Amino acid sequence: MSKKKWTKEPKAVEKQVRNIMVSSELKSSIEEEVPKMKIITPTIISGKYNIRVSVANEIIKDLEKRGKIKLIEGNPRIKIYQPVLKEEKEIVEKVKEVEKVEIAKAKRKRK
């Protein structure tokens, strides 16, 4: 009988080279497709579009500032986003208008 060799050879892992720079065409396609996704995370975007996670984070922050997506759950390691529905956009716009009116009234009272 022959003896088994118990040493395992390490598997060669190929590192993927991800893009650092994002072309305007790629950015516009990301901005169109991301709000259609059910769940949005930087890892999903970086894997789908072959970009670095840090670049995906910047794109997500930009979309959040514009109001196309919203933060659902998050901690320092990962953040989970969801697209904003049309009804929610309308409500947010109305709230912003009401806040502007209240600020204007407060300024008038101070004078």
- Going from N- to C-terminal start, the domains of the chain cover 24-84
The answer to whether residue 110 scores a pLDDT higher than 90 is: no
Cα angle vertex 43, ends 40, 45, to 5°?
60
> At 39, is the secondary structure helix, strand, or coil?
coil
Least confident stretch, 21-25, 29-33, 91-95: 91-95
Q: Which residue has the higher pLDDT, 95 or 3?
A: 95
Banded model confidence at residue 29, pLDDT cuts 50, 70, 90: very high
Question: What's the CATH code, domain 24-84?
Answer: 1.10.10.10
Cβ distance 62 to 45 under 8 Å? no
> At 93, is the secondary structure helix, strand, or coil?
helix
Short-list 87, 95, 91, 42, CA closest to 64: 42
Per-residue pLDDT tens over the stretch 36-64 = 889 999 999 999 999 999 999 999 999 99
